[in-house]
Chains A and B, each alone.
Chain A
């Protein structure tokens, strides 16, 4: 099992550019989520999904879109990148359809927006 994979590991964007952060898991987990981590702060939830075809907003959803067409994949789209979106992004998954189980995290994507 590869667990939770994220690509790319690093990315530099210019303001206004768009891109998709990829996240995939091979554990047949129902729950997947995206977090951002900023210095001095805990993780903040961007979007989450409790199953294929179902997504919902977290604490900081503005500027991001998600979709969940398969159980395995949960891409995060930045529509028009802004410097405030410079952060480390983590994808996570867990077996049940809520974050009450152990979350398995990907290695993270470090995004810089110039």
Chain B
């Protein structure tokens, strides 16, 4: 069955440290989509990235980078030189054929950046 696992329930680091959030997914489909969303303390959900299964290129956007590895079914998210404003809950999600292309969400990782 399709599944998204974010094993890190909560991570706490000091500002300016680098931090990696793990996401492991399960799917039997060859075509699927992976997402990361951010939920800051204010509660809204903010889209960060979308990746399809045929594009294994790593992505960098400012201090954010994503490492997609099909061999290990992982789509990890790294924040470089973290800032207090990065404090949020981060969700990884999967959309595939067997889920009728609906989103399957991980439980989220709460990231706390201490000043």
Binding site for B on A (CB under 8 A): 33, 40-45, 48, 56, 58, 88, 90, 92, 98-105, 107-108
Given A100-B33, A102-B47, A107-B43, output 10 extra A-B contacts at Cβ < 8 Å: A33-B102, A33-B103, A43-B91, A48-B102, A90-B45, A98-B101, A99-B95, A103-B37, A103-B47, A107-B44
Q: Which residue of B lies closest to A9 (CB)?
A: B43
Binding site for A on B (CB under 8 A): 4, 9, 33, 35, 37, 43-45, 47, 50, 52, 91, 93, 95, 100-103, 105-108
Residue from A48, A56, A100 having most chain B Cβ neighbours under 10 A = A100
B107:A42 contact, CB within 8 angstroms: yes
In the complex, what residues of A have CB within 8 A of residue B103's CB?
33, 43, 45, 99, 103
Q: Give CA–CA (A44, B91) in the complex, Å.
A: 12
Q: Which residue of B lies closest to A96 (CB)?
A: B101
Q: Which residue of A lies closest to B46 (CB)?
A: A105
A42:B108 contact, CB within 8 angstroms: yes
